[in-house]
Structure 1
Amino acid sequence: MMTGFRLNLSPLKEPLGFVKLVEWLTAIFAFGSCGGFSGRNILSLFCGDGMNETLNANFHYPFRLSQVPLVDGNTTICNHSVTTTHMMGDSASAAEFFVGIGIVCFLYSMVALLVYLGYMHVYKDSDFGPIFDFVITAILVFMWLVCSSAWAKGLQNVKDATDTEGIGASLALCKGGNITCEVTNFANMRTLNISVVFGYLNMFIWAGNAWFVYKETHWHSQKFSSQPGPGRQQVPAPI
């Protein structure tokens, strides 16, 4: 059996290779739309004496909000002395998990495409290749479900922590007196919402791809060959 590289683009015309190319692209959109995010909410403080002040709430990936200073250093706001104050919340674990799975799927899709296009003759001549491919694909389907669900919850936590109520809870000035706090300018989180959509989309695409990979394994071929064909009858053994 020859094991050298032999370029063959025909797998891209079949579901096995074409869907893997789609997975490669959707993985890029998933982790790229989350990992590259940076936004700013503007908190307006109405001091009650005719003075208004603003604070910038800057946040970005991986969304460790508890380490983001809302007020950096001792300062005076609405005639009140305010010490260093940080935002509340931490969605870093969910965001990094989501991006990490996206990068793993991006790399695995590249390796799988290399095998399909250059070593398909080796892939189909052995049982190990298709079975390994199927097992990894099935695991990644589950991982996409878990990381997308975790990031969807983490994103909601980010939204809650950066709205008027969330920021107001971290700033003592907003908890009483005649000072009113309100977020008047919200960061555009459309790309973060898109990242969640691509996360679940990846799950469905990888689940569909699992079927085409399964058809390459000997499990499927044995099951197919063991089924009697239409119109076939078993002939009793001669006595």
Structure 2
Amino acid sequence: MTGLRLNWSPLKEPLGFIKVLEWFMAVFAFATCGGFTGSNVVSLYCSEGRNSSLIATFSYPFRLNQVLLVGSNATLCNHTVPETHLVGDASSSAEFFVAIAVLAFLYCMAALLVYVGYMHIYRDSDLVPITDFMMTVFFAFFWLVCSSAWARGLQTVKDATGTEAIRVVLPLCQEGGVLCEVSKFASMRSLNISVVFGYLNMIVWAGNAWFAYKETRWYAQKFSSQPAGGRGQVPAPI
């Protein structure tokens, strides 16, 4: 029979329990990165004229070169400053990280549906367990890749919104008598946590690959082909 048979017991086994854990961790990885919005306050201290402050607001997907720092022909420290944007673009690594998180979330939902409702088909099939194992290995590998890429992208965000980068991108800061510095930094704790969740996901998915592998015919064939250790040959009946 191929119909739906609800059975919650697979969730008590490592294969199902870890899949639930992976589902939650994918949600956290997505939320901590994709939901970020922060602002840095840049203070301009002028020897001539009035001190000013600039606000640089940036958010996912971190296309920093589109973040406006100074509006068109603004007057700062008695100088006319052209329209200025931040530098850098971390969107590719951020979007890659979020895409893997979303795909992992969707795959976990599909796998849990199979475990809970169609485990009798899963256990009787050769293709389904092998597909589950291959997908588990796929996600373990790509969690490593996307987390490493996003860790590098996050460093780009931190560098591009720091004092040194602001001084480089804003010509006014090169003028004598003008001091520019970031006086208030956006909290990037959630972004740091997203990187940690990325690597934790990689570890959990890699560990789950073993339990998925045990459901495949490859493991069954390997186990059945091993001779029973410590056993003598059974004598033929007389």
Q: Corresponding residue for 1:35?
A: 34
Output one character per residue of 1:69-103: Cα deviation in whole Å (capped at 9) or x when no partner.
10122110110001111000000000000000000
Tell me the amino acid that sits aligned with residue 46 of structure 1. Y
SS in 1 for 2:4: coil
Matched-pair identity in % = 65
Q: Could you tell me which residue of structure 1 aligns to residue 80 of structure 2?
A: 81
What SS is found at the alignment partner of 1:25?
helix
**Shift of residue 236 of structure 1?**
11
Cα distance in 1 between the residues matched to 2:90 and 2:10: 40
> Which residue in the other structure is 1:151 paired with?
150
Give SS of 1:159's match. helix
- Which residue of the partner structure matches residue 47 of structure 1? 46
Q: What is the alpha-carbon distance in structure 1 between the residues aligned to residue 58 and residue 42 of structure 2? A: 13
Q: How much has 1:235 moved relative to structure 2? A: 7.5
Alignment of 1:1-239 (within 5 A): 2-49=1-48, 51-233=50-232
- The CA distance in 1 between the partners of 2:58 and 2:152, in whole Å, is 17
The unaligned stretches of length 5 or more in structure 2 are none
Residue 97 of structure 2 aligns to a residue whose secondary structure is helix
The CA deviation at 1:177 is 1.4
SS state at 2:164 partner = helix
Give runs of ≥4 in structure 1 deviating > 3 Å.
233-237
Task: Name the aligned partner's letter for residue 164 of structure 2.
Answer: E
Query: How far off is 1:230 after superposition?
Result: 2.3
Q: CA RMSD in A?
A: 1.4
Counterpart amino acid of residue 222 in structure 2: K
- The Cα of 1:189 is off from its aligned counterpart by 0.3
For normalisation by structure 2, the TM-score amounts to 0.96
CA distance in 2, matches of 1:169, 1:196: 28
Q: Report the alpha carbon displacement of residue 234 of structure 1 after superposing the two structures with TM.
A: 5.5
Q: AA paired with 1:88?
A: V
Aligned residues: 236
Range with bigger deviation, 71-80 or 11-20 = 71-80
Find the residue that maps to 2:180 and give its secondary structure. Answer: strand
Provide the C-alpha distance between the structure 1 equivalents of 2:70 and 2:220, rounded to a whole number of angstroms: 65
Per the TM alignment, residue 143 of structure 1 is displaced from its structure 2 partner at its CA by: 0.4
CA–CA separation in structure 2 for the residues paired with 1:189 and 1:126: 46
Q: Secondary structure of the equivalent of 1:58?
A: strand
Gaps of 5+ in 1: none
| Separation of aligned partners in 2, 1:235 and 1:79 | 100
Give the secondary structure class of the aligned counterpart of 1:177: coil
Report the CA distance between 1:176 and its aligned residue: 3.1
Bigger shift: residues 220-229 or 94-103:
220-229
Report if the CA contact (8 A) 2:40-2:161 is conserved.
yes
1:232 positional shift: 2.1
* Contact map agreement 2:37 2:59 (CA 8 A) in 1: yes
